[in-house]
């Protein structure tokens, strides 16, 4: 009974959410687009013609934003183990980005260039067990960081979603070893009760 009430409360909040309504109005696939838009404007993330890799991209709202920002001269490559409906200007690889076959496909799309920006809004399926959820989300962030350190252009940037908790400070330190600076962002579209944050690594060393 309690779970049903909670689900109803979440659905009511979701339906009435400003960013949900705005995403439907403006054609974005989820409200998460506005998190990236805010960070991108504040930190000047995108430039015309740049190459962007979007990890855990489905349903595709971050890829939508990236594609709009880099323009026809740029390139957006999205990866996810889940299916994702096609998007104009976005190359999609349905595979696990840790697998060599996925990296082989990525290299074909990159055409001997390296990404200028890696973005990751990945999160595990939440169980409601805070310690477990935080550990699983941090594991995904660590995988994304390792990918970025291998694939990013020198001077490139990396934006990743993390959740505050036991491993946050260590992960923050790990990012600082790989980037000239690391900033913390909490966009307006992140719900107040959520402990999600975004770490932006600027200038891969």
Which residues contribute to the annotated binding site for S-adenosyl-L-methionine?
A: 60, 62, 80, 96, 121
- Helix (H) or strand (E) holding 107, with range, is helix 100-110
**CB-based contacts of 187, cutoff 8 Å, min separation 6:** 34, 35, 38, 39, 198
SS (H, E, C) 23-37: HHHHCCCCCCHHHHH
- Half-sphere exposure of residue 85: CA atoms within 13 angstroms, side-chain side: 5
Is-catalytic flag, 161? yes
Is the Cβ–Cβ distance between 49 and 74 less than 8 Å? yes
Distances in whole angstroms, Cα of residue 35 to Cα of each of 31, 112, 119, 126, 166: 8, 31, 12, 20, 24
Asked if 94 and 81 count as a contact pair (C-beta separation under 8 A), the reply is yes
Q: Which of 68, 28, 77 is nearest to 48 (CA)?
A: 68
Give the active site residue among 75, 161, 180, 204. 161
Binding site as annotated, residues: 60, 62, 80, 96, 121
Residues assigned a catalytic role = 161
């Amino acid at each position: 009974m309690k779970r049903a009430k909670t689900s109803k409360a979440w659905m009511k909040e979701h339906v009435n959410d400003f960013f949900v309504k705005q995403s439907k109005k403006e054609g974005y696939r989820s409200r998460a687009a506005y998190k990236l838009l805010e960070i991108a404007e504040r930190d000047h993330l995108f430039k015309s013609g740049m190459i962007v890799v979007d990890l855990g991209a489905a349903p595709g709202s971050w890829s939508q934003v990236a594609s709009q920002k880099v323009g026809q001269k740029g390139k957006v490559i999205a990866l996810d183990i889940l299916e994702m409906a096609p998007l104009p200007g976005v190359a999609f690889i349905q595979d696990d980005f840790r697998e060599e076959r996925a990296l082989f496909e990525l290299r074909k799309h990159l055409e001997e260039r390296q990404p200028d920006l890696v973005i990751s809004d990945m999160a595990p399926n939440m169980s409601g067990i805070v310690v477990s959820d935080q550990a699983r989300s941090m594991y995904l962030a660590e995988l994304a960081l390792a990918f970025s350190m291998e694939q990013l252009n020198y001077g490139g940037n990396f934006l990743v979603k993390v959740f505050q908790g036991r491993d946050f400070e260590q992960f923050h330190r790990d990012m600082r070893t790989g980037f000239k600076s690391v900033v913390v962002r909490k966009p307006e579209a992140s719900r107040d009760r959520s402990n999600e944050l975004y770490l932006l690594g600027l200038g891969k060393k």
